[in-house]
Chain A
Amino acid sequence: MTLKEPVITVENLTKRFGDFIATNAITFDVYKGEIFGFLGANGAGKTTAMRMLCGLSVPSSGRATVAGFDIYRQTEQIKRHIGYMSQKFSLYEDLTVAENIRFFGGIYGLSNHQLQSKSEALIERLGLQAERGKLVGELPLGWKQKLAFSVSILHEPRIVFLDEPTGGVDPVTRRQFWALIYDAAASGITVFVTTHYMDEAEYCNRVSIMVDGCINALGTPSELKQQFNEPSMDGVFYQLARRAKRGD
């Protein structure tokens, strides 16, 4: 049994907006190479929590480290050591595939040589040789998302944050996407993913479910199914989210 090394530690992390407590003293750890599913209903506080972990928002109280860096004082280092991809923004639509890769590679501080070899490897892996000069805006959604994910890990970050990466994508491409996620995890990148597809929750090593700002479930999918006496993650989620008072 290999010793588990935490890459994200969170202790009583809280975020308040005036009287409203978006994230309420959440505590959990994420270990290296894990695929960690961060679930919750809309309005449960997931996005707020993720933004804090990415160094985009300052917590009201509590402690957390991401890739070993403190989220209050070392946000710049955090940003350098993580990757991020969301459904809303991934790549620049009016830049070509190659230009996007070059741009983000440049931003992540890759040398020209590294960029060249990684870029080739990426394009080959995704089979985009014929499309490298095409504007990203012209690619079908599934390819865009796969490309965006690959670009987000171009600099081999310790952790990659994925915010609903497979929304609206067809079932075959979704699975191809998760194959990429598995590969990334196998190479040591920790994957922190939120999703509304409950079958994807099953693909994660461990899952947490947020309700009304608190984490009401944390464990492997099998542990949670046993704990809540449900045959599927869908059932577990339904049980927990139904009791939510907040949001919609």
Chain B
Amino acid sequence: MRQFIAFVKKEFFHVLRDRRTLLILFGMPLAQILIFGFALTNEIKNAQVVVIDHARDDASRHIINRLAASSYFEVRENVMDKNRMEAAFKEGHIKLAVVFPARFQSDLNHQNYAQIQVIADASDPNGATTLTAYVSSIIQDYQTELNKGNGLPYRITPEVRMLYNPQLKGAPNFVPGVMALVLMLISVMMTAISIVREKETGTMEVLLVSPFKPMWVILAKALPYLLLSLVNVLSILSMSIWVLDLPVAGSWLLLFAESTLFIITCLTLGIFISIKAKSQQVAMLISLMGMLLPTMMFSGFMFPIENMPVPLQIFANIVPAKWFYIIVKSIMIKGVGLEGIWRETLTLCGITLFFFVISLKSFKIRLE
């Protein structure tokens, strides 16, 4: 027993004297729990809703006011034709559209029955369901009000259309998210240990005393992992198509190209970690713990970013997975082309360039 305690004491010494790992072990969870607490919410707030009011009568104004008053929605009025509306959905500007037919009030008066079109972006099935439920309940409330008093009951039915994912399958939301997560983790992890391993095993020492260029090392380390990751992309896509029954609505080529870009972004991030980390252990800790949770939380596929406090929303902008998630959803589920996602693509390019440049600049050409 005494001997066992001797071991326990020793292990405590080892752990407590490794300052750097301690910082990561304590600091990271703390930071993440704090962020989680603020960011974690499934409630919908300020969802972008567009109202197209062909009727412009009392009844429609009533309902629109109710919608605007609700904190769930941020209502914009617009007279859009079908094409513009579809474009707005494709580009992700709106999550929900409520369309009042021209003869709304008169339909109610004459037929005691009217319909309102509710069109939701079902590429996020949970969000879509929640939003349409909110709208429906507001419409229901109005209907109840109308029915106070005696007379023939009024019926207002929301005609719900779920865009892009009529069956509200989880896969359209989940596959792009997992794709972003998996590609990011693997690409970052693979390169994160590559350079620091050479520092640890000593091979870097001999390499430094030679006419090599840091640029070669960086590019050469990224290239094999790039090819391997592309194989990953292919297998994820094939699985989603044939096993999960989720076809690609847009261009295959574009999806592949954007995936390549995202992988390169992650590889450069991994290389930067590798250059800065002092040991393989630290590199692994940073790329797993440091990358996993932020990517999960801030890519937008688990928790809507719009619902987070503003500082976190701004932070989400530097998480590459956020942009890639939007890109993949747009191409796979909404069938959007490059015109619709050029902003996100440019952002990824910018992030990649940034990491590449600081990697080059921080590459240590000496041993200390």
Contact = CB atoms under 8 A, between A and B. Distances in A.
A99 interface: yes
A8 B2 CA distance: 30
A107 B3 contact: yes
A99 B17 CA distance: 13
Interface stretch (B7-15, B49-57, B140-148, B296-304): B7-15
A103 interface: yes
A175 to B, nearest CB: 32
B2 A106 contact: yes
Given A106-B2, A107-B3, A109-B2, A92 B9 contact: no
B9 A94 contact: no
B10 A92 contact: yes
A102 B9 CA distance: 10
B152 interface: no
Contacts of A94: 13-14, 17-18
A102 B6 CA distance: 8
A106 B14 contact: no
A102 to B, nearest CB: 7
A99 B7 CA distance: 11
B115 to A, nearest CB: 74
Contacts of B18: 94
A217 interface: no
Interface in A78-100: 92, 94-95, 99
B5 interface: yes
Interface residues of A, number: 9
A92 B3 CA distance: 17
B10 A95 contact: yes
A194 B2 CA distance: 33
B5 A106 contact: yes
A103 B10 contact: yes
Contacts of A109: 2-3
Nearest to B17: A94
A204 to B, nearest CB: 33
A9 to B, nearest CB: 29
Contact of A107 (B6, B14, B17): B6
Given A109-B2, A109-B3, A103 B9 contact: yes
Contacts of B9: 103, 106
Nearest to B2: A106
Interface residues of B, number: 11
Nearest to B13: A95
Interface in B1-43: 2-3, 5-7, 9-10, 13-14, 17-18
Nearest to A135: B17
Contacts of A102: 6
Contacts of B5: 106
Task: Give the interface centre of B7, B10, B14 by most chain A CB atoms within 10 Å.
Answer: B10
Contacts of A103: 6, 9-10
Given A92-B10, A95-B10, A106 B3 contact: yes
A107 B5 CA distance: 9
B250 to A, nearest CB: 56
Contacts of B14: 92, 94-95
B135 to A, nearest CB: 63
B13 to A, nearest CB: 5
A103 B13 CA distance: 11
Nearest to A112: B2
Contacts of B7: 107
Interface in A99-140: 99, 102-103, 106-107, 109
B325 to A, nearest CB: 43
A118 to B, nearest CB: 15
A85 B114 CA distance: 91
A106 B13 CA distance: 15
A233 to B, nearest CB: 34
A191 B346 CA distance: 71
Task: Give the interface centre of A95, A102, A106 by most chain B CB atoms within 10 Å.
Answer: A106
Contacts of A107: 3, 6-7
A102 B10 CA distance: 10
B277 to A, nearest CB: 20
B11 to A, nearest CB: 10
A106 B3 CA distance: 5
A109 B7 CA distance: 12
Contacts of A95: 10, 13-14
Nearest to A104: B6
A99 B2 contact: no
A94 B16 CA distance: 10
Nearest to A100: B10
Nearest to A96: B13
Q: Which 10 pairs across A and B sit closest by C-beta, in order of nearness?
A: A106-B6, A94-B17, A103-B10, A103-B6, A95-B13, A107-B3, A107-B6, A106-B3, A106-B2, A94-B14
Given A95-B10, A102-B6, 8 more contacts: A92-B10, A92-B13, A94-B14, A95-B13, A103-B9, A106-B6, A106-B9, A107-B7
Interface of A: 92, 94-95, 99, 102-103, 106-107, 109
13 contacts: A94-B18, A95-B10, A95-B13, A95-B14, A99-B10, A102-B6, A103-B10, A106-B5, A106-B6, A107-B6, A107-B7, A109-B2, A109-B3
